[in-house]
Amino acid sequence: MVVESLLENNDLDAVVFFHLPTIRYLCDFSGSDGVLVAFRQQTFFLTDSRYTVQAREQVRADEIIEYRSQLPAVIDCLNRQGCRRVGFEAATLAYATWDKLRKESADRWTWIPLDEPLQQLRRRKRDAEVDKLRQAAALAARGFEQIVDLIRPGAIEREIALELEFALKRLGADEKAFDFIVASGPRGAMPHGIASDKAIASGELVTIDYGVVKDGYHSDETVTLAVGEISSDLRRIYDIVLAAHDAAIDQLRPGMGLRELDAVARELIAAEGYGDYFGHGLGHGVGLEIHEYPAVSPRARGLVEPGMVLTIEPGIYVPGLGGVRIEDTLLVTDSGNEILTRLPKGFRTLG
């Protein structure tokens, strides 16, 4: 039904999907090489010999075609159906691939770039997707609590990240969602401070941004923890970020503007004098990818809708001092929201 609407609304004879998360969403394929070609009456899944057995077990399509060379197989599939207008994923398809497709098709049909229609495709999660997102978030919390006592003076950021990854995989995570951020002390001023060889010191904050992939779906959560007694400046920053986080969650509801949601946290931080130290958007969608539509930022268009799964992650980052980010992932419900991630976000001191 989703693909049929996409074809009809854009006056297309076919759509070619190369982007693996979209392919998984549409036909359940979880491998790493395949193309879905959807027509108004039929769908074809194309893959190589490594994945044909897997595809026959997983894929919802009318026919599975094995290829030796991907792009000629795609062109042949389109040729056999006599297309005029063929949609493709403009935002995710590599230019080199698009250029080869254009040359191979030799103007037999018109290629129609699809951006916003595909971007919107996965914005509202189905019940089965929400269940998987809940499971991923619960697994992530269990793994974190197994290693939290390792976060103490003298611990190395990189070793904390490794121990966390091992714990999560022992619990059944497919993989980590991204390179974990473990940023302590002044490194906390880097929003994407990937774990380093720095030793954590007493009196520092440490920000840990991590997530898992479970059955294809991602978790995303950030905590900032105190190691020993911290300065009053750091504690004030923490309290401001927590207040911004809580205010945004309290206000999150269907029908509000995405930029309006961003403004709830941003204006609170600015009123406390730290507006220049919060440079990124408040959040983003999460699902089969760690960053999905919609973005929650001052430039965002559109409204919050039931079924969206969004992060709320305000932060303050002060060069030379450190930083704080607090993040939860939430499901937008018909009347408000449900927090999917599990770790407590109140001030917490370790070591």
CATH number for the domain harbouring residue 57: 3.40.350.10
Confidence check: pLDDT of 273 > 80: yes
Q: Given CA atoms 177, 213, 253, 118 in this order, what sign does their dihedral have?
A: positive
Confidence tier at 105 by pLDDT (50, 70, 90): confident
Asked if residue 64 and residue 193 are part of one domain, the reply reads: no
Asked if residue 226 and residue 107 are part of one domain, the reply reads: no
Tens digit of pLDDT for each residue in 196-223?
A: 999 999 999 999 999 999 999 999 999 9
Q: How far apart are CA 253 and CA 266, in angstroms?
A: 17
Confidence tier at 117 by pLDDT (50, 70, 90): confident
- Domain finish residue from 58, 92, 120: 120
- Domain finish residue from 120, 142, 170: 120
Q: At 235, which CATH number?
A: 3.90.230.10
From residue 131, give the alpha-carbon distance in Å to each of 33, 128, 215, 219, 253.
Answer: 26, 5, 11, 12, 20
Asked if residue 261 and residue 138 are part of one domain, the reply reads: yes
- Domain finish residue from 120, 138, 166: 120
Closest CA to 163 of 179, 144, 177, 181: 144
Confidence check: pLDDT of 133 > 90: yes
Asked if residue 171 and residue 107 are part of one domain, the reply reads: no
Asked if residue 322 and residue 227 are part of one domain, the reply reads: yes
Place of tokens 């999917």: 340
Query: What is the predicted pLDDT for the residue at 107?
Result: 83
Asked whether residue 289 is domain-assigned, the answer is yes
Asked if residue 172 and residue 146 are part of one domain, the reply reads: yes
Q: Are the CB atoms for 69 and 57 separated by under 8 Å?
A: no
Asked if residue 95 and residue 173 are part of one domain, the reply reads: no
Q: How far apart are CA 58 and CA 42, in angstroms?
A: 17
Confidence tier at 116 by pLDDT (50, 70, 90): confident
Query: What is the predicted pLDDT for the residue at 264?
Result: 99
Asked whether residue 183 is domain-assigned, the answer is yes
Domain that holds residue 33: 1-120
29-38, 114-123, 174-183, 196-205: the lowest-pLDDT one: 114-123
Q: How far apart are CA 141 and CA 272, in angstroms?
A: 31
